């Protein structure tokens, strides 16, 4: 026993062996992860690339059917074993960058992408100053499918009427409120709340500006409350719910075929309704997001360049159009979006109608989704307004527990120049060693939406100053300093929307 | 000491030493000293030394009237706070300046290459050069006019060249009127050279550590040698297997020797490397860089913390194995010497092999299974326990971002009983809640299945019931069907618009559909439903077991009881139940602990839903109302930030709880004490 | 436990109670029949539904009713156009290999612990008991890593899975050991006196007597890999060639695929369940013997 034991310990040696093999020359063996329905098309597209590319590169490709959600999680779990190219939805973008699963795109290719794709898609692929992914589709938003035989057309704009219609017909209203924050956010966007995140170059989140916990947020919560408290509310986004007694399903373009199959001519497609609180109507917003194509960072320079070429091809106008024809995926390529066929798809039309109210998804921290989805549950459990407020406070606590919450200082505007805050005047002569451009004079936002300094200041002619935001130089107006022509005592006034700086005499 | 020692028991004679023990020990010490000296010499003079890079500082002092530049470079708050590395670099990298500075680096690189200087030799692109530059403020200068440029490079002279070039370029940008409008400059900015702020430091090899290690190993070997008698046994301390070989035991000797070769080879080749990195868990980061500015990026992978942890721990265990084998080797030498002295023969190779299928057969049989268990169960557990002392998680996955030891931080952070004030409960509060539910679940799952299964078995077993086999077969069939199919389908049946709800509404028993698994205000509904569904899964199995046992109870016991006037209930409680409990005692215990870790049923049925409001959020993952500790643990590893270290802490706590329960109950079980009776 | 109640009292006449007893027994039996029928229906319903759903061809997504409107075999034929056959073969191979190897290992382990008395015996059993209390989830991550370094993941997931299933299977010795405990030691001793070494004792004497437990172990080992979802998914890491049926079928229930794959899932489920169930039914006798013989005795 002892001897065998000892000898078998040597078997541990086997565990420290590592072997690798890679392709050589201009032939590369790669793996692509694409959703199942896109697998055959992707294979065909890669073959077309092999036949037509200028680099003389040939790819031996294995396309695995992996859903977009799974591909992101799997890449994060093990980057090295992951696919070389993978399709993913943008909500995992930040985590993927952080995990080093996305290769930074070089400047030339990035310029091409920016020129050819629509703005939301480019924003989705950007972290800090660089692009990390290739835009694939711009149709990741949602809108409303409904059963025309149950819901009269004139009711589709009002949430309350829709709920009443469903209750009367004893059919379900499927709007995912409890397991996903993606749909939930539509109510908050309706009332003007925001949740904006800033990242640095490495994809690290540095701060967030979140106004969900506010009077506007409470209005949104009341709207959600109306919906979730109704017995015909179903928290789901599957178009197949139509076959299980639903009359309305809020879903995206991926549910189009199923909805059409089930409802046939009774299928109605339109943008989201509005809800009413305290006499005011709010049109539901939505996220408009994208699907992206990611390329894994490579060790071999040649392979990296070849993969970039393939990625550009796969996300180019022709391939995007092919995908639209085959699968009804709304393209992000501007030229493809303009084509007639794309313009004619009713699902995409409804999406475009809804997109007027949509918020571009942008970069959002991965944990936000987990934190925000609890709001739906909290609201459902709340008994009264205080309960609703508690749900929002809870949410805010969790967010601030995780990140630096931006406060009002960061978004306020101030005046800075050759001015002295304490003594209350602007000057031009600083030869006596007075420090310059050090004091920020605070401004207050008025009822008219314009920012103004709290009091008027004496200014000499020739004084220069700027108006800046958040005590940093990122946003400062005007581009060249504002020069005072005539001496006098003035307020400084600033219009946030237009960036116009002006003086108002006292 | 007498010349020969007589072993009182065996009457054998142990061979005597020629010299006293003390002398042997002293000789051993001398050998150790020699080893240490050799190691010291090698480290200092033979092995090539390594040095870290030097850091050279250049300063750009801006004069007062360069206000626009100062304004631009001040950063947030308008004040000169104690700046971190990123602040100035933030500003510089975000403005168009950055490209100019990078281009300047490219030019510098080209110049150096042409001049044949070391800077040009390395494969250092502009991007990688920029990585070596740190921008900041000189904190000593409170007016905030002094920008510091720290360049880290192996050769201080080159660092100076880089720093100078950068300072000049920055100065040029800041004073360029076409870029930064402002009043005319009265005094030009100054460039100052502060010099080396960090000298190159010797990083390896660390002579002292090596000498100590060599000394310890040598001490071990030579001291053991000192205690051996006979030259054969002494040599075996250095050349393993010699004791056996020299006495004719070829098989054993060769095996030992082979092991030594493999062990030493492994340790020198790989083992030392892993052990060196183990305390820091890796320092070489993964680098993403482009061969030219703005060009195609590629990556070189640095250290992998996970691999280091894994192989480092394996190496430590291997060292343990080496020590154990060494000990065996020496011990066998001593035994062999004793046997020889007694005049008996030693076992030959053939005899060894023969005994492996005879009196040592148990070792042969156990070898493979036990090795498998050690490698695939024990090792992972030890490893995961160690993870609880690191910060291994999704963001710090060991490859892109290295992770490191954090000691007891995780425990301190998580094992807090009072809330920090945010709306969520603390970790321990949530843990406690989930633990409570796990215990309740395990209890009910085990005992409802047990009694109901017994009841069904008794019902089928009753005299007068026909088609016993058919009833049993129907129920038993459900055991065969894989759980993931049955559970998934059943969970869909209980959906809000699923079959169960449609059925109930159609029968008119309820008006509105019941949300079995989604209703956060009625968690107990979900919990009860889960227990009920678990009955569906578990009864067939229990029925089988109890049927078998029931049939073993002598029937005349019941006969006589009935005649004595006992009603069926009394028969049950006085005869059946005690018998069953005695026989199935250990099974109940294992079933209970098994249910505590019953992952499949909960995960496939509910995934832990409905959400537990206000629960502790582990990296963005909160807990559910029907979550067991194990499904919660799984979700922590799968979702959110993948906080593996938290999962490890939970795993350890789970283990502690379960082990306590098991140990408490196991030793009290009567059937355990009577194991031998059955044989 | 053997409080012997003698049959001394059985001589009392039972005639008087006979008629009433029979009536109440009939009522009791009828109630039991009803109960058993209800139970059988409840137990079998989900499977009946799954089978019914697998024949539904008028749509492929979830619906609220059970009986198909249009019957057909399309779901089954579609299975063969997908990756399902590959998964099936994978699972079958791993089940087969696991069943053989695991049986060998478990039998080695349990026989040794039952028959031999050596110093480490009781500590070893206690040790394994404690090891079993650790949640197995945690080891998943590191086993994945080790397998990855050995090249046994993704497309090569099957050998990797087999290795992991088999390697730790020694811990499941409990039932088999109980069975071996019931075989009297005197048999062993008699054989040894006749000159057999221990290996021959095992091979020639004990094994022939152990048919039930061997079949039981083979059966349970075979059934294991068919249902393993979590670990198989981790190891196969999205490579369809390496998945087993559980991972593959579960993948069809994801949000973007369920609408087209739901009925195929049911069909696949049926194809997985049927062979395993049939096998189980044939060998049921041994399973029961094994479970009752070994699981419940000490």
Cβ contact A90:A139 at 8 Å: no
Q: What integer is the mean pLDDT of A215-230? A: 88
C242: which DSSP letter? G
* CB nearest to C273's CB, from B462, B481, B637: B481
Residue B415 lies in a domain: no
Residue B37 lies in a domain: yes
Question: Which residue is it, tokens 């029979």?
Answer: C22
d(CA C135, CA C18): 57
What pLDDT score does B677 carry? Answer: 39
Beta bridge partners of B153: B54
| CATH code (residue B142) | 3.30.70
Cβ contact C14:B444 at 8 Å: no
Give the phi and the psi of residue B136 in degrees, each rounded to 5: -165, -170
Question: Which residue is it, tokens 């009753």?
Answer: B462
Cβ contact C75:C54 at 8 Å: yes
What pLDDT score does B17 carry? Answer: 61
* CB nearest to C240's CB, from A64, A254, A261: A64
What pLDDT score does B75 carry? Answer: 41
Q: Which among A419, A410, A430, A431 has a CA at the least distance from the CA of A482? A: A419
Domain limits at B218?
Answer: 16-49+204-227
A13: nearest CA in chain C?
A: C150
Same domain, C196 and C244: yes
- Fold of the domain built from segment(s) A408-505: Immunoglobulin-like (2.60.40)
What pLDDT score does B483 carry? Answer: 82
B308: nearest CA in chain A?
A: A16
Across A32-41, A285-294, B10-19, least confident range: B10-19
ω into B610 cis (within 30 of 0): yes
A68: nearest CA in chain C?
A: C256
Helix H or strand E segment including A79: none
d(CA B121, CA C120): 63
Dump pLDDT digits (tens) for A279-337.
888 898 888 778 899 999 988 888 888 999 999 999 989 999 888 888 878 888 888 87
Residue partners of A33: CB distance under 8 A and separation at least 6:
A63, A64, A66, A71, A74, A82, A83, A85, A86, A87, C238
The pair of structure tokens assigned to B59 is: 């300063």
Cβ separation of B94 and A129 shorter than 8 Å? yes
d(CA A86, CA A356): 30
Which residues of chain C, if any, have pLDDT below 70?
A: 1-22, 291-298
d(CA A256, CA B308): 50
Location of each CATH 3.40.190.10 domain in chain A: 23-138+289-339, 143-286+361-402
Q: What integer is the mean pLDDT of B154-172? A: 82
Extract long-range pairs of B286-290: CB within 8 Å, 24+ residues apart.
Answer: B286/A100, B286/B399, B286/B400, B287/B128, B287/B131, B288/A100, B288/A103, B288/A104, B288/A297, B289/B125, B289/B127, B289/B128, B289/B131, B290/A104, B290/A106, B290/B125, B290/B127
What pLDDT score does C20 carry? Answer: 62
Q: What integer is the mean pLDDT of B408-423? A: 68
Cβ contact A461:B95 at 8 Å: no
The overall average pLDDT reported for chain B is 76
> B122-132 burial by CB neighbour count: b if 16+ within 10 A, else e?
eebbbbbbbeb
- Interface residue A36 vs chain C (CB under 8 A): yes
- Interface residue B658 vs chain C (CB under 8 A): yes
Beta bridge partners of A199: A205
Same domain, B217 and B157: no
Domain limits at C21?
Answer: 15-74
What pLDDT score does C10 carry? Answer: 40
Same domain, B297 and B320: yes
Q: Which CATH superfamily is domain A23-138+289-339 in?
A: Periplasmic binding protein-like II (3.40.190.10)
- Interface residue C99 vs chain B (CB under 8 A): no
- Interface residue A22 vs chain C (CB under 8 A): no
Residue C2 lies in a domain: no
- Interface residue C108 vs chain A (CB under 8 A): no
Tell me which of A213 and B347 has the higher pLDDT.
Answer: A213
Chain A closest-CA separation from residue B405 CA (Å): 20
pLDDT band at B395 (very low <50, low <70, confident <90, very high): confident
d(CA C293, CA C6): 27
What pLDDT score does A461 carry? Answer: 83
B98: nearest CA in chain A?
A: A129
Q: Which among A110, A145, A112 has a CA at the least distance from the CA of A125? A: A110
Chain B closest-CA separation from residue A418 CA (Å): 10
Location of each CATH 2.60.40.3620 domain in chain A: 408-505
Residue partners of B391: CB distance under 8 A and separation at least 6:
B403, B404, B406, B409, B410, B645
Best CATH choice for the domain A143-286+361-402 from the list 1.10.287.370, 3.90.230.10, 3.40.50.280, 3.40.190.10: 3.40.190.10
What pLDDT score does A42 carry? Answer: 93
Q: Which among B72, B288, B272, B323 has a CA at the least distance from the CA of B175? A: B72
Which residues on A lie below 8 Å from C260 (Cβ)? 37, 258
Question: Which residue is it, tokens 């050769």?
Answer: B155
Dump pLDDT digits (tens) for C66-109.
788 888 888 888 888 888 999 999 999 999 999 999 998 988 88
Dump pLDDT digits (tens) for C205-228.
888 888 888 888 888 888 888 888
Chain B closest-CA separation from residue C272 CA (Å): 8
Find the helix packing angle between B427-461 and B577-596, rounded to 10°.
140
What pLDDT score does C298 carry? Answer: 40
Cβ burial of A23 (10 Å; 0-12, 13-18, 19+) is middle
Same domain, B209 and B282: no
Cβ contact B57:B194 at 8 Å: yes
In this structure, chain A runs to a length of: 506
pLDDT over 80 (residue B66): no
* CB nearest to B640's CB, from A1, A7, A367: A367
DSSP letters, A147-178, are ETTTS-GGGTTBHHHHHHHHHHHT-EEE---S
* CB nearest to C138's CB, from B307, B384, B586: B384
The pair of structure tokens assigned to C276 is: 């395993």
d(CA B266, CA C111): 36
d(CA B389, CA B386): 5
DSSP letters, B68-129, are HHHHHHH-GGGS-----HHHHHHHHHHSTHHHHHHHHHHHHHHHHHHHT-HHHHS---HHHH
Same domain, C167 and C24: no
pLDDT band at B68 (very low <50, low <70, confident <90, very high): very low
Find residues 479-508 of chain B whose CB sits inside 8 Å of chain C: 479-486, 488-490, 492-493, 497-499, 502
The pair of structure tokens assigned to B445 is: 């799952």
What pLDDT score does B676 carry? Answer: 42
Strands ordered across the beta sheet of B54-61? B133-137, B146-153, B54-61, B190-198
Helix H or strand E segment including A425: strand A425-426
Same domain, B441 and B464: yes
Q: How many structural domains comprise chain C?
A: 2
Find residues 234-263 of chain C whose CB sits inside 8 Å of chain B: 246, 249-250, 253
d(CA B1, CA B19): 10
pLDDT over 70 (residue A403): no
Residue B325 lies in a domain: yes
Question: Which residue is it, tokens 């080695």?
Answer: C108
Dump pLDDT digits (tens) for A122-167.
888 888 778 899 998 888 888 999 998 888 888 888 899 999 989 8
Which residues on B lie below 8 Å from C272 (Cβ)? 482, 485
* CB nearest to C256's CB, from A14, A33, A35: A35
- The ipTM estimated for the assembled molecules is 0.80
Same domain, B473 and B584: yes
pLDDT band at B302 (very low <50, low <70, confident <90, very high): confident
Strands A419-420 and A425-426: antiparallel
**Chain C neighbors (3+ CB pairs < 8 Å):** A, B
Which residues on A lie below 8 Å from C258 (Cβ)? 238, 240
Which residues on B lie below 8 Å from C28 (Cβ)? 462
Find residues 211-240 of chain A whose CB sits inside 8 Å of chain C: 237-240
- Interface residue B563 vs chain C (CB under 8 A): yes
Dump pLDDT digits (tens) for A418-449.
777 777 778 776 666 555 666 778 888 776 77
| Angle made by CA atoms C115, C116, C121, in degrees to the nearest 5 | 115
Same domain, C151 and C232: yes
Residue B597 lies in a domain: yes
> A387-403 burial by CB neighbour count: b if 16+ within 10 A, else e?
ebbbbbebbbbbbeebb
d(CA A208, CA B138): 31
Kindly state the percentage of chain A with pLDDT values over 70.
88
Cβ contact A265:C85 at 8 Å: no
What pLDDT score does B179 carry? Answer: 54
Tell me which of B221 and B203 has the higher pLDDT.
Answer: B221
Residue B418 lies in a domain: no
Residue B232 lies in a domain: no
Farthest-apart Cα atoms in chain C, separation: 80
Residue B385 lies in a domain: yes
C56: which DSSP letter? B
- Interface residue C147 vs chain B (CB under 8 A): no
Dump pLDDT digits (tens) for B510-525.
777 777 777 766 778 8
Chain B closest-CA separation from residue A212 CA (Å): 16
Cβ separation of B557 and C138 shorter than 8 Å? no
Q: How many structural domains comprise chain B?
A: 4
Same domain, B577 and B663: yes
C109: nearest CA in chain B?
A: B366
pTM of the predicted model as reported, rounded to 2 decimal places:
0.75
What pLDDT score does A294 carry? Answer: 93
Cβ separation of A67 and C254 shorter than 8 Å? yes
Same domain, C61 and C179: no
Find residues 410-439 of chain B whose CB sits inside 8 Å of chain A: 422-424
pLDDT over 60 (residue B183): no
Tell me which of B421 and A237 has the higher pLDDT.
Answer: A237
pLDDT band at A363 (very low <50, low <70, confident <90, very high): confident
**Residue B395 CB coordination number (10 Å):** 19
**Residue A432 CB coordination number (10 Å):** 6
Site from A10, A418, A440 to mutate, B interface, most B CB atoms within 10 angstroms: A10
Find residues 23-52 of chain A whose CB sits inside 8 Å of chain B: none
What pLDDT score does A311 carry? Answer: 93
Dump pLDDT digits (tens) for B539-566.
888 887 787 777 777 778 778 887 887 7
d(CA B419, CA A401): 13
Residue C179 lies in a domain: yes
From B200, B217, B250, the end of a domain falls on B200
Cβ separation of A67 and C259 shorter than 8 Å? no
A18: nearest CA in chain C?
A: C149
d(CA A174, CA A165): 13
C-alpha count within 13 angstroms, C-beta hemisphere, residue B259: 31
C-alpha count within 13 angstroms, C-beta hemisphere, residue B420: 14
What pLDDT score does C93 carry? Answer: 93
- Interface residue C43 vs chain B (CB under 8 A): yes
Q: What integer is the mean pLDDT of B75-83? A: 33
Give the phi and the psi of residue B22 in degrees, each rounded to 5: -60, -40
- Interface residue C108 vs chain B (CB under 8 A): yes
Helix H or strand E segment including B300: strand B297-300
Find the helix packing angle between B85-94 and B67-74, rounded to 10°.
120
The pair of structure tokens assigned to B529 is: 């439903």
Q: Which among A104, A140, A100 has a CA at the least distance from the CA of A125? A: A104
Which residues on A lie below 8 Å from C150 (Cβ)? 14-15, 17
3-state secondary structure of A419: strand
State which of A205-209, B108-112, B249-253 shows the largest mean pLDDT: B249-253
Cβ separation of C62 and B492 shorter than 8 Å? yes
What pLDDT score does A31 carry? Answer: 92
Same domain, C137 and C205: yes
**Chain A neighbors (3+ CB pairs < 8 Å):** B, C
pLDDT band at B205 (very low <50, low <70, confident <90, very high): low
* CB nearest to C170's CB, from B373, B456, B671: B373
Farthest-apart Cα atoms in chain B, separation: 122
Residue partners of A69: CB distance under 8 A and separation at least 6:
A89, A92, C254, C255
pLDDT over 50 (residue B4): no
Same domain, B578 and B613: yes
**Chain B neighbors (3+ CB pairs < 8 Å):** A, C
- Interface residue C139 vs chain A (CB under 8 A): no
pLDDT band at A25 (very low <50, low <70, confident <90, very high): low
C71: which DSSP letter? B
- Interface residue B622 vs chain C (CB under 8 A): no
- Interface residue C61 vs chain A (CB under 8 A): yes
The overall average pLDDT reported for chain A is 81
pLDDT over 90 (residue B115): no
* CB nearest to B520's CB, from A377, A433, A471: A377
C183: nearest CA in chain B?
A: B679
Residue C99 lies in a domain: yes
C-alpha count within 13 angstroms, C-beta hemisphere, residue B425: 15
> Between the CA of residue B303 and those of A79, A462, B273, C18, what are the distances in Å?
15, 59, 12, 86
From C74, C90, C121, the end of a domain falls on C74
pLDDT band at B617 (very low <50, low <70, confident <90, very high): low
From C74, C106, C141, the end of a domain falls on C74
């Amino acid at each position: 026993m002892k001897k065998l034991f000892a000898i078998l310990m040597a078997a541990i040696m086997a565990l420290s062996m590592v072997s690798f093999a890679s392709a050589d020359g201009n032939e590369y063996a790669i793996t692509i992860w694409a959703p199942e329905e896109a697998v055959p098309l992707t294979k065909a597209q890669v073959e077309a690339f092999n036949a037509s590319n200028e680099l003389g590169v040939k790819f031996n490709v294995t396309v695995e059917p992996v859903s977009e959600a799974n591909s992101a999680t799997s890449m994060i779990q093990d980057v090295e074993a992951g696919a070389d190219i993978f399709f993913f939805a943008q909500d995992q973008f930040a985590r993927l960058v952080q995990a080093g699963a996305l290769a930074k795109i070089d400047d030339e290719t990035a310029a091409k992408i920016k020129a050819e794709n629509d703005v939301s898609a480019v924003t989705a692929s950007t972290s800090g100053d660089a692009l990390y992914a290739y835009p694939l589709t711009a149709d990741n938003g949602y809108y409303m499918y409904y059963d025309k035989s149950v819901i009269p057309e004139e009711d589709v704009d009002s949430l309350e009427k829709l709920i009443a219609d469903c209750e009367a017909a004893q059919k379900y209203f499927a709007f995912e409120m409890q397991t996903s924050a993606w749909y939930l956010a539509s109510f908050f966007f309706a009332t003007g709340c925001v949740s904006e995140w800033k990242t640095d170059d490495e994809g690290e989140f540095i701060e967030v500006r979140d106004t969900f916990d506010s009077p506007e947020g409470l209005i949104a919560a009341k709207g959600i409350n109306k919906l979730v408290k109704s017995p015909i509310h179903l928290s789901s986004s599957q178009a197949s719910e139509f076959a299980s007694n639903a009359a309305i399903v809020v879903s995206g373009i991926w549910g189009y075929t199923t909805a059409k199959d089930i409802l046939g001519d009774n299928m109605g497609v339109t943008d989201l309704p509005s809800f009413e609180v305290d006499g005011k109507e709010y049109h539901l917003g939505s996220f408009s997001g994208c699907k992206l194509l990611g390329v894994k960072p490579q060790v071999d320079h040649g392979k990296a360049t070849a993969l970039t070429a393939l990625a550009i091809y796969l996300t180019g106008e022709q391939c995007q159009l092919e995908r639209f024809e085959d699968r009804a995926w709304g393209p992000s390529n501007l030229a493809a979006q303009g084509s007639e066929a794309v313009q004619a798809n009713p699902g995409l039309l409804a999406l475009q109608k809804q997109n007027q109210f949509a918020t571009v998804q942008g970069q959002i921290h991965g944990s936000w989704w987990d934190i925000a989805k609890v709001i739906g549950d909290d609201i459902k459990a709340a008994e009264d307004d205080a309960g609703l407020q508690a749900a929002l406070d809870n949410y805010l606590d969790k967010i601030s527990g995780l990140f630096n919450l931006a406060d009002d200082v960061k978004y306020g505007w101030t005046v800075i120049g050759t001015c002295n805050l304490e003594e209350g005047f602007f000057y031009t002569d600083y030869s006596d060693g007075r420090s310059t451009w050090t004091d920020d004079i605070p401004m207050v936002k008025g009822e008219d939406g314009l920012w103004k300094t709290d009091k008027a200041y004496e200014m000499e002619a020739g004084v220069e100053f700027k108006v800046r935001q958040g005590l940093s130089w990122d946003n400062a107006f005007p581009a060249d300093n504002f020069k005072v022509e005539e001496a006098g005592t003035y307020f400084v006034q600033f219009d946030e929307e237009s960036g116009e700086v002006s003086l108002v005499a006292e | 000491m007498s010349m020969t020692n007589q072993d009182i028991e065996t009457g054998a004679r142990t061979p005597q030493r020629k010299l006293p023990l003390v002398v042997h020990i002293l000789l051993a010490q001398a050998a150790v000293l020699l080893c240490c000296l050799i190691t010291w010499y090698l480290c200092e003079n033979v092995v090539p030394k390594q040095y870290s890079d030097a850091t050279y500082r250049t300063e750009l002092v801006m004069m007062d009237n360069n206000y626009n530049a100062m304004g631009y470079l001040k950063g947030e708050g308008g004040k000169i706070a104690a700046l971190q590395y990123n602040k100035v670099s933030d500003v510089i990298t975000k403005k168009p300046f950055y490209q100019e500075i990078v281009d300047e680096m490219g030019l510098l690189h080209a110049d150096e290459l042409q001049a044949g200087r070391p800077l040009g030799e390395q494969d250092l692109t502009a991007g990688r050069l920029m990585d070596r530059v740190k921008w900041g403020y000189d904190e000593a200068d409170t007016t905030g006019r002094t920008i510091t440029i720290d360049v880290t490079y192996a050769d201080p002279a080159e660092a100076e060249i880089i720093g100078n070039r950068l300072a000049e370029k920055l100065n040029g940008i800041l004073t360029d009127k076409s870029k930064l409008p402002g009043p005319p400059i009265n005094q030009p900015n100054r460039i100052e050279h502060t010099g080396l702020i960090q000298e190159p430091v010797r990083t390896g090899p660390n002579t002292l550590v090596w000498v100590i290690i060599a000394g310890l190993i040598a001490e071990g070997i030579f001291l053991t040698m000192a205690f051996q008698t006979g030259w054969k046994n002494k040599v075996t301390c250095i050349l393993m297997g010699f004791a056996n070989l020299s006495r004719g035991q070829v098989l054993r000797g060769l095996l030992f020797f082979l092991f030594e070769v493999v062990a030493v080879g492994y340790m020198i080749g790989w083992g030392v490397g892993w052990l060196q990195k183990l305390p820091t868990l890796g320092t070489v980061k993964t680098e993403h860089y482009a061969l030219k500015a703005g060009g195609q990026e590629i990556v070189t992978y640095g250290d992998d913390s996970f691999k280091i942890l894994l192989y480092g721990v394996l190496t430590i265990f291997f060292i343990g194995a080496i020590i154990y084998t060494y000990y065996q080797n020496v011990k066998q030498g001593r035994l062999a010497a004793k046997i020889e002295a007694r005049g008996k023969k030693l076992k030959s190779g053939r005899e060894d092999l023969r005994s492996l299928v005879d009196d040592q057969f148990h070792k042969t049989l156990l070898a493979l299974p036990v090795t498998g268990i050690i490698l695939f169960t024990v090792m992972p557990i030890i490893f995961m326990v160690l993870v609880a002392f690191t910060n291994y998680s999704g963001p710090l996955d060991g490859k892109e971002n290295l992770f490191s030891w954090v000691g007891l931080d995780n425990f301190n952070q998580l094992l807090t009983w009072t809330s920090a004030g945010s709306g969520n409960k603390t970790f321990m509060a949530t843990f406690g809640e989930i633990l409570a539910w796990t215990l309740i679940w395990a209890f009910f799952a085990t005992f409802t299945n047990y009694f109901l299964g017994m009841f069904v078995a008794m019902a089928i077993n009753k005299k007068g019931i026909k088609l016993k086999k058919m009833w049993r077969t129907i129920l038993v069939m459900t055991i065969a069907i894989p759980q993931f199919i049955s559970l998934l389908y059943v969970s869909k049946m209980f959906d809000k618009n699923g079959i169960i709800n449609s059925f109930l509404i159609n029968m008119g028993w309820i008006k509105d559909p019941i949300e079995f698994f989604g209703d956060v205000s009625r968690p107990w509904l979900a919990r009860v439903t889960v227990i009920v569904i678990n009955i569906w899964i578990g009864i067939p199995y229990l029925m089988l077991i109890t049927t078998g046992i029931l049939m073993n109870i002598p029937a005349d016991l019941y006969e006589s009881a009935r005649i004595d006037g006992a009603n069926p209930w009394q028969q049950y409680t006085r005869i059946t139940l005690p018998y069953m409990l005695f026989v199935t005692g250990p099974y109940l215990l294992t079933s209970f602990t098994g249910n505590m870790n019953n992952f499949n049923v909960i995960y496939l049925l509910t995934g832990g839903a409905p959400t537990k409001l206000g629960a502790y959020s582990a990296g963005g993952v909160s807990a559910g109302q029907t979550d067991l500790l194990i499904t919660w643990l799984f979700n922590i590893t799968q979702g959110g930030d993948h906080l593996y270290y938290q999962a490890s802490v939970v795993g350890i706590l789970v283990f502690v709880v379960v082990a306590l329960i098991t140990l408490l109950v196991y030793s009290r079980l009567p059937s355990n004490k009577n194991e031998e009776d059955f044989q | 436990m053997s409080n012997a109640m003698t049959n001394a009292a059985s001589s009392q006449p039972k005639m008087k109670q006979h008629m009433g007893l029979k009536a109440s027994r009939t009522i009791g039996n009828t109630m039991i029949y009803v109960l058993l029928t209800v139970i059988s229906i409840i137990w079998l319903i989900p499977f009946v539904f799954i089978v019914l759903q697998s024949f539904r061809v008028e749509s492929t997504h979830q619906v609220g009713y059970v009986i198909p409107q249009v019957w057909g075999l399309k779901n089954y034929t579609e299975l063969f156009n997908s990756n399902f056959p590959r998964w099936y073969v994978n699972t079958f191979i791993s089940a087969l290999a696991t069943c053989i190897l695991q049986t060998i290992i478990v039998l080695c382990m349990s026989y040794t612990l039952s028959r031999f008395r050596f110093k480490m015996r009781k500590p070893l059993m206690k040790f394994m008991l404690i090891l079993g209390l650790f949640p197995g989830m945690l080891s998943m991550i590191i086993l994945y890593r080790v397998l990855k370094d050995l090249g046994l993941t993704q497309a090569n997931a099957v050998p990797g899975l087999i290795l992991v299933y088999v390697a730790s299977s020694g811990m499941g010795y409990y039932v088999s050991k109980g069975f071996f405990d019931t075989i009297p030691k005197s048999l062993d001793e008699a054989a040894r006196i006749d000159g057999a070494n221990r290996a021959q004792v095992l091979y020639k004497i004990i094994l022939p007597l152990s048919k039930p437990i061997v079949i039981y172990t083979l059966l349970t080992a075979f059934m294991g890999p068919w249902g393993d979802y979590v670990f198989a998914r981790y190891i196969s890491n999205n490579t369809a060639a390496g998945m087993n049926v559980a991972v593959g079928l579960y993948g069809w229930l994801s949000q973007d695929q369920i609408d087209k794959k739901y009925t195929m899932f049911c069909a696949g489920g049926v194809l997985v369940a049927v062979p395993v169930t049939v096998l189980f039914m044939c060998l049921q006798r041994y399973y029961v013997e094994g479970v009752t013989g070994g699981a419940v005795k000490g």
